[in-house]
Homo-oligomer: A and B are copies of this chain.
Amino acid sequence: MVRPRAFDEEKALQAAMELFWEKGYEATSLSDLTAKMGIQRPSLYSAYGDKKELFEAALRKYNQFHSSYLRARLQSGTSVKEAFRSLFEGIIAEGYGEGPNRGCFCLNAMVELAPHDAKFEVLTREHQMYLTVIFQETLERGIRAGELRSDVNAKRVAQTLVVAMIGLTVFLKSRPDRAFAENSAATILDLLQ
């Protein structure tokens, strides 16, 4: 005996995610949000809580999406080495697309919020840990398949690839010469022998 929601909560959350991803937390206003989400202010508050809670929900949604995306990219493809190469190449290509370079939502949140908010310190750290596990498992698969040398330390290399991916993603925000980005990616990928 209640009136049902007239908007799609997932769709609206997706819209909020896009906005926070592109502009960050502070620079995104509630008016920006309600406009893009296509809902009114009280609907937002009743469905998601305040601005910080909405941001957190958006980031969690992004992290899920991002993990799935990376796992899929690393599982498909002919080889582990080629999968990583393609992944890094895709990140670089993304950096030179049109429009503002939004990079990785989780890294943006790590820079803007993690140092001042323990909740986001944990949330962003745990996502990187999860990505590291995905990388490590992929490397171990490559070792088992005989594609990578058996003396490769999968955990250490995975950690290094994650740090390098973070560096590359952030660096691309300044739109450096493409050769710079390509060189550093290629040098890092030489870890995969």
Contact = CB atoms under 8 A, between A and B. Distances in A.
Given A107-B111, A111-B107, A163 B174 contact: no
Contacts of A160: 164, 183-184, 187-188
Interface string A6-42: 0000000000000000111011000000000000000
Interface residues of A, number: 49
12 contacts: A22-B115, A26-B26, A101-B114, A103-B115, A110-B171, A121-B175, A124-B173, A125-B174, A125-B176, A160-B164, A163-B164, A167-B168
B156 A124 contact: no
A3 interface: no
Contacts of A164: 160, 163-164, 167, 188
A174 B121 contact: yes
Interface in A128-170: 128-129, 132, 155-157, 159-160, 162-168, 170
Interface of A: 22-24, 26-27, 100-103, 107-108, 110-112, 114-116, 121, 124-125, 128-129, 132, 155-157, 159-160, 162-168, 170-171, 173-176, 180-181, 183-184, 186-188, 191
